[in-house]
Structures are given as structure tokens and as C-alpha cells.
Amino acid sequence: MADKHAKRLGRLLRVRTLQVGQVRAEESAAQDKLASEHALSQRIAALAANVAPRPAEFGAAMSFAAAAHYRERLHVSSTAAEQRVVVAEAGLDRARAATQEARRDQSAIEKLIERARLDAAKRELRALEESPPTRKNRHAPC
């Protein structure tokens, strides 16, 4: 019975270890996505800064109209990028929570395995204490 229990705990530990690996990979992907979204947001902000109005040049009216159009488009893109950053942060928070939960599950299984080992060792010690001596003492007086 104890052997079946040990095998079962071993299988559970392998499964939990695989799950921890998977959620760590998902957390890493979420971190990469968040970094990518931040970088995109910064690139859009830099582009918007480059489209700022310039001193009067030839065809200034046309230039101002085009710049206003591009600033408007970049503003919309910036808003969308900010929303994607918020979504990526929420995804990272969920991935971190899943990683923490998977680690907690794995450590619980490890504790159960350790407790089972200690119980088996205690049973073996009790069995040795209760067993009759196997050798006779040759030096005891008769």
C-alpha cells in the first residue's frame, strides 16, 4: 500500500513540476509581451514628437494639415497602445498568480513526499525496536 502511495506521489510531483515549467514559460511570454507593448508605445510617442509643427516653410498650410492628420492618427495609435499595455500588464499579473499557485502545489506535493519518507523511517525504527534480538550475547554470565 505504501509503495502505491509513493508511486502516486511521485507521479503527482512530476505532473506538478511540468505544470510549473509551463506556467513559468507563460509568465516569461507575458513579460516579453509587456516589454514589446511598452516599446511600441514609446515608438509611437517618439513619432508623435517628430510630427510636431515646424517653423513656416514652403507650403506651410499643407504641411500643417498633413502634420495635424498624422498627429491625430498617432494619438489614436497611442491610445490603443496604452490599452494594449494595460491588457499586457493584466496578463502578466494572471501569469504571476498562476506561477505562484503552481509552485504552491508543487511544494505541497514535496512536503507530502517528505512526510511519507519520515513516516516510513519511523515505522522501520519501531519494527527494529520491537523485533527480538538475533544474536545471543556470548559474554553474559550464565
Residue 9 has pLDDT above 70, yes or no: yes
What average pLDDT does the chain have?
86
Query: How many angstroms from the chain centroid is the CA of residue 73?
Result: 36
Q: In the chain, pLDDT over 70 holds for what percent of residues? A: 86
pLDDT of the residue at 128 = 87
Alpha carbon distance 16, 102 (integer Å): 7
Q: Any idea which of 8-12, 99-103, 131-135 has the lowest mean pLDDT?
A: 131-135
Instruction: Count the residues in the chain.
Output: 142
Question: For 106-126, what is each residue's pLDDT tens digit?
Answer: 999 999 999 999 999 999 999
CB atoms within 10 A of CB 63: 14
Give the CA distances from residue 52 to residues 39, 55, 57, 64, in Å, rounded to whole numbers and listed in that order.
21, 10, 14, 9
Q: What is the pLDDT of residues 64-82, one digit of tens each?
A: 777 778 888 888 998 999 9
Query: Please, what are the domains in the chain?
Result: 2-119 (1.10.287)
Whole-angstrom CA distances from 74 to 11, 42, 79, 126 are 53, 12, 9, 77
> How far is residue 24's CA from residue 28's CA, in Å, rounded to a whole number?
6
Q: Tell me: the pLDDT tens digits for 37-65? A: 999 999 988 888 777 666 555 555 567 77
